[in-house]
Chain A
Amino acid sequence: QITLKESGPTLVKPAQTLTLTCTFSGFSLSSGGVGVGWIRQTPGKALEWLGLIYWNDDKRYNPSLKNRLTITKDTSKNQVVLRMTNMEPVDTATYYCAHKRGYCVSTDCYEYDWFDPWGQGTLVAVSS
């Protein structure tokens, strides 16, 4: 069974950097094709994809936030870390990490473009 759980601060001040950790179990981020994504949900319920890290340390970021995001992984700890700089009140949201399935056949790797499952989410407020 795959599970993920986000952890980090519930409140950050404007201009600060947010660091969130996703701790997962039930899969390995060293398995070919596998990824972990970050998605956030605003208080108005809109979902926004933030970024993604793959088993081979390849990373993809939402172009609109690319300059503020860094995603890293620690395979030995089964953790993925999201860093978002220069936080603003509009970044107030529930932040989710999610598993992204994939597989490799010989040297060819394939990914599925949906997220399943998701962590429970963590609410982050940005306020002075």
Chain B
Amino acid sequence: SYVLTQPPSVSVAPGQTARITCGGNNIGSKSVHWYQQKPGQAPVLVVYDDNDRPSGIPERFSGSNSGNTATLTISRVDAGDEADYYCQVWISSGDHLYVFGTGTKVTVL
């Protein structure tokens, strides 16, 4: 089965840049999507297709994807960005499957 590995936690000071990685075998060949989940709320899509943003998502959120690692970058972090973040891909070979990463808790210091 396909596994997406994320660091459990990332800490960042306000105004700085947070980078959250998502590791998977040859993930660069797949489209990666990112969700933000604040406490008690449902996940919200913040980046799709590696580096596109849904309407209403600030430009501070961006993504990249190459090789075995995809990265979500949050620039100029503020307290409102404190949340859990999950990556997700679609596996089309063989079984039809949507896989989520293990999740990363972003803490704003």
- Given A46-B102, A47-B43, A118-B44, CB of A113 within 8 Å of CB of B86: no
Asked if A49 is at the interface of the complex by the 8 Å CB criterion, the answer is yes
Chain A: CB-nearest residue to B32 = A114
Select one of A52, A63, A116, A119 contacting B95, CB under 8 A: A63
Q: Complex Cα distance A46/B88, Å?
A: 12
Q: Is the CB of B88 within 8 A of A114?
A: yes
Q: Complex Cα distance A113/B54, Å?
A: 14
Q: Complex Cα distance A52/B86, Å?
A: 19
Q: Complex Cα distance A48/B101, Å?
A: 9
Q: Is the CB of B97 within 8 A of A114?
A: no
* Number of chain A interface residues as a range: 20 to 34
- Given A45-B84, A49-B98, A63-B95, CB of A96 within 8 Å of CB of B33: no
| Shortest Cβ distance from residue B49 to the other chain A in the assembled complex, whole angstroms | 8
Chain A residues within an 8 Å CB radius of B42? 96, 117-121
Q: Is the CB of A37 within 8 A of B98?
A: yes
Asked if A103 is at the interface of the complex by the 8 Å CB criterion, the answer is no
Give the B-binding residues of A (Cβ under 8 A).
37, 39, 45-49, 52, 60, 62-63, 96, 112-121
Give the A-binding residues of B (Cβ under 8 A).
31, 33, 41-45, 48-49, 54, 84, 86, 88-90, 95-100, 102-103
